[in-house]
Amino acid sequence: MLAVADQLFYERGIHAVGVDTIVARADTAKTTLYGHFGSKDALVDAYLQRRSQLWQEHVEAEIAASDSGPAARILRVFEVLGRSLAEPGFRGCPFINACAEFADDHAAAATARAHRRWLHGVFARLADQAGAADPELLATQLGMLYDGSMVAAHVDSDRAAATTARAAAAALLIASGIEVDTTAAVGLRSGSPRCSPLVAPWERPGG
């Protein structure tokens, strides 16, 4: 049910998808859905929490697998994002989309904010390790580039937006006095496993 709700909420919008549609697609009953989640609102929150957990695990694993310094790891985050933007069916950031549909006091909005705090924390941690004079400010700037690339990919259909954001991030690091390895690959790595905060490849129809 959660996998079905994930796909429908992301493809169509949360308010546009009713419980009847979810249970019909999942071939289950309303009583089963409510027995597991209690309400549609709780299901929405579970959908976003699942997205956040999967994306956090993936990004942290990519960072941990890198034997490069913290500056290169910051740029790696944009490479990982770029693979997500190139996924079929990309329709923007699920967390930004959810915030557009709900009031600030909704649980879904709180989960979205928590996800964004995690991302800020990743950038701030790496910026501090790289020797930034103001890691929090740099993390905020990097987060804006990250968000902007998702908006450009969604609204402008610019699937290479993360590559542009990566170049801008490198310029920010240099402007902050952080050494950037110019021999590092520019753009997206080929042959890397794809995983995104959208619909996981093994859950996409035919994927």
From the list 204, 196, 200, 160, the residue with the least C-alpha distance to 84 is 196
Mean pLDDT across the chain: 87
Distance (Å, whole) CA 160 – CA 12: 24
Closest to 186 (Cα-Cα) out of 170, 200, 203, 205: 170
Stated pTM of the model: 0.84
The confidence score (pLDDT) of residue 185 equals: 39
Rg of the chain (C-alpha set): 18
Question: By the 8 A CB rule, do 123 and 80 touch?
Answer: no
Q: pLDDT by residue (tens digit) across 18-51?
A: 999 999 999 999 999 999 999 999 999 999 999 9
Encoded amino acid at 95, one letter: F
Q: In the chain, which residues have pLDDT < 50?
A: 184-207
Residue 181 pLDDT:
77
pLDDT at 183: 52
Percent of the chain with pLDDT over 90: 82
- In residues, how long is the chain? 207
